[in-house]
Amino acid sequence: MNKLSSAAMLIKNENMKIYRRPRTWAMIGLLIIALMLVAGIMKWDQSSQSDQSNWREEITQGNESMRQALTENEGAFDEQTAINLENRIKVNEYYLDNNINPYAYTLWSYMDTSSALIILVTILTVIVAADMVAAEFSWGTIKLLLVGPASRAKVLLCKYISTFMFAILLLVLCFAVSFAIGASLEGLDSLSQPKISIGADGQIVESSMVLNVLQKYGYSVIELIMYVTFAFMISASFRSSSMAIGFSLLGILMGNTLVSVLAKYEWVKYLLFANIDLSRYANGHPLRPEMTLSFSIIMLAVYYIVFQLIAWFMFTKRDVAG
């Protein structure tokens, strides 16, 4: 019981360090402003669009064009491209039969767009993670922290947990604010609207829009966990918050570009950045044809364990007496 209470006190102490800094509240405000700005742009785009009352004619013409392309260019498309065109025709026909305007903005349009802003949540959490250990050395408080009864491993774990508590707060805030904005701008009429997609059998599938948004959040959270753990490892190993932030942001901004350039090499599948975007499998477009979801999950688990072991070893074995 004492161990649990001491851990709880450590976590409380780390959270106090996070939230008493003006920078933290500035980051929370930045996230809210970003969500409002994106919503404002979407609303402006909606008002500037031409009249959407002829959406049925546009979809009908689009289907005719795709059917004509499939007929006149039979054999010119590869199998997957032809299947994608046929699936788009099926979905469009479903919209027509059920009088669903796919171009109209709804509550879910804002929720779906908000999932793309989790990259901002990742960046903000990386900044906090980079400072969790390195700042103790910069401020000279590391000795005071380690003279207590808690072991170094427990101190490190509590810092890690506190970092992800901040990440969870940002994720919940992102979800709640985007829902509130969408509901205020478009109402709740579309709350029960289903997600329309094509199943593996080629038939129309109606699924929950809530689950669809949560799935996108889930894929983004995997990236968040890996980048934040990487930043935490750098912070614990080199005492440098700037180095942790720099390397993490480099990976976030350049990782996908790097693996796309190197995709022709088989060994690229062992890189972290080649496996971090699990949504590739949901979309049916893995980086390399031999890569599978289970392979990427295993690779991510290996990287995660390695990052944690390096952070633990470097923090628990480092001399702080000097």
Per-residue model confidence (pLDDT) at position 318: 66
pLDDT tens digits along 254-279? 888 888 888 888 898 999 988 998 88
Query: Based on the number of CB atoms within 10 Å of its own CB, is 248 exposed (0-12), middle (13-18) or buried (19 or more)?
Result: buried
Per-residue model confidence (pLDDT) at position 49: 65
Provide the CA 141 distance to its chain's centre, in angstroms. 33
pTM, 2 dp: 0.82
Per-residue model confidence (pLDDT) at position 189: 78
pLDDT tens digits along 112-166? 888 888 889 999 998 888 888 777 766 666 666 666 666 778 888 888 899 999 9
Q: pLDDT at residue 207 above 60?
A: yes
Average pLDDT, rounded, for the chain: 83
Q: How far is CA 44 from CA 105, 185, 288, in A?
A: 11, 12, 39
Given a contact cutoff of 8 angstroms between Cβ atoms, the answer to whether 186 and 106 are in contact is: yes
The Cα 248–Cα 41 span in angstroms is 29
Per-residue model confidence (pLDDT) at position 149: 65
Given a contact cutoff of 8 angstroms between Cβ atoms, the answer to whether 195 and 164 are in contact is: no
Per-residue model confidence (pLDDT) at position 1: 46
Given a contact cutoff of 8 angstroms between Cβ atoms, the answer to whether 114 and 240 are in contact is: no
Q: What percent of the chain has pLDDT over 90?
A: 19
pLDDT tens digits along 217-260? 888 889 999 998 988 888 888 777 787 788 888 888 888 888 88
Lowest mean pLDDT among 134-148, 178-192, 199-213, 307-321: 134-148
Task: Output the CA angle 279-224-21, nearest 5 degrees.
Answer: 155
pLDDT tens digits along 97-107? 888 887 778 88
pLDDT tier at 307, thresholds 50, 70, 90 = very high
Cβ partners under 8 Å of residue 296, min gap 6: 274, 275, 278, 281
pLDDT tier at 305, thresholds 50, 70, 90 = very high
Average pLDDT over residues 154-183: 90
